[in-house]
Amino acid sequence: MKRSPIAIVGLGVLVLVVIILPFTATNYLLRLTTIAFMYIALASSWNIVGGFIGYPSFATAAFFGIGAYASGILRGASSLPLPATWLFGAAAATLFSLLVGPAILRLRGHYFAVASLVLAAVLREITNAATTLTGGGMGLNLPAVGAINVDVQTRLYYVSMLVAAALTIGLATLIWRSRLGWAMRCIEQNEDAAIVLGVNTLATKILGFAASAATAGLVGAIYATWIGYIDPTDAFDDLLSVKPIIMAFIGGVGTIFGPVAGAIIFLVLEEFVWRNVLNFHAGILGIIIVALLVFMPGGIGSIGRGIEKLRAYGRAGRTSDISGAAPPVVPS
């Protein structure tokens, strides 16, 4: 594939900024960038199921929470190195996806969406009830990482989330370019036609679901040690399922770059609104999101079309012919 020089330069600058930041930036900015990496990973993770396969998944929170709790519990019970506990979290989320995937991936459309949404709710209740293992509603405190100071810790999680985001984008790209990616695109377009061509649609969907689970689980695991404390409402928060969808929609669903750009735009908006309109931030953010989705239904790539649409509304208002259609020809 050919890339434009602008894209290469842009990517180069981005890589440079990411490398330089830990040496120059304040802890606040680093923390914000770490959240950006987390959002990028979650949006790209959702995109594998929601974008490539076209299945509206609300399971991100379930995967995230399992990753967080599995790694958190293991960390409390053992002295394994951090990355090992994180991988354990990712593995637990993957295992969970392989257990429920074959059942709920037979459902289509809204039915699948609801089934995937319920997963986090059920897990939240189970986590609440399993007090001895998870601490229940009291939450789970994770031991801090050795005796290192705040500056080093901030940079440790900066790098870790960066790696998680890179792994997720890498995995998504790998899938997108492979035979599996083609099968997913076919399912997204027309599942029956895909079956007719011999695509094993259930297996394809399960693999995509598992890839999404592994990456979201890894992010959840890193998040748990980063924050140092998790509780059921936080780790299985439904917003963790909803936000990645919004990000992917902002940037462009079903592309590699879309969720990345969308996650950054979303974070900037979220942070900006949060800092400036503290007592109505959720409302303002909601309005912005609705406006973005109305005028850029295909993500930022379609902003031209959105402006065109606005102009068309303007024209329709000025002229008497609102429909824009030619008047019917009356045969004489």
Partner 1 sequence: MVDLLKASGLCGGYGDVQVLHDVALTVKAGEIVCLIGSNGAGKTTLLRVLSGMAKSTAGSILFADQDLRGLPAQEIVRRGIAHVPEGRRLFAGMTVRENLLMGSYLRGDGRAVINKDLDFVLATFPKLAERLHQDASTLSGGEQQMCAIGRGLMANPTLLMIDELSLGLSPKLVGELSKALTEINRAGQSILLVEQDVATALRLASTGFVLDTGRIVLSGPSNELVANPSVREAYLGMTAA
> Which parts of this chain interact with partner 1 (CB under 8 A)?
179, 182-183, 185-186, 189-190, 192-193, 195-200
Of the two residues 132 and 192, which places its CB atom closer to partner 1 in the complex?
192
For residue 236, which of 70, 31, 82, 112 has the smallest C-alpha distance? 70
Q: Which is nearer to partner 1, 73 or 105 (CB)?
A: 105
Smallest separation, CB 194 to partner 1 (Å):
8
Token look-up 């309109």 returns 277
Nearby residues of 8 by Cβ (< 8 Å), 6 or more positions away? none
d(C-alpha 127, C-alpha 135), whole Å: 8
**Smallest distance, partner 1 to C-beta of residue 94, A:** 24
- Name the nearest CA neighbour of 215 among 33, 87, 57: 87
Our CB check for partner 1 shows the closer of 73 and 184 to be 184
Nearest distance from C-beta of residue 202 to partner 1, angstroms: 9
Q: How far is the CB of 2 from partner 1 (least distance, A)?
A: 15
Reduced to 3 states (helix: H, G, I; strand: E, B; else coil), residue 229 is: strand
- Residue 170 beta carbon to partner 1: minimum distance, rounded to whole angstroms: 23
Contacts of 76 (CB under 8 A, 6+ apart): 140, 142, 143
Q: Write out the H or E segment, with its range, that includes residue 141.
A: strand 140-141
Question: Which of 91, 186 has the CB closer to partner 1?
Answer: 186
Nearer to partner 1, 197 or 277 (CB): 197
For partner 1, the closer CB: 20 or 196: 196
Q: Please report how close the Cβ of residue 52 comes to partner 1 at its closest, in angstroms.
A: 12
Nearer to partner 1, 54 or 232 (CB): 54
Residue with tokens 């434009």: 4
Q: Closest distance between partner 1 and the C-beta of residue 185, in Å?
A: 7
b/e sequence 271-303, b meaning 16+ C-beta within 10 Å? eebeeeeeeebeeebeebbeebeeebebbbeee
Question: Using CA atoms, how far apart are residues 86 and 89, in angstroms rounded to an integer?
Answer: 5
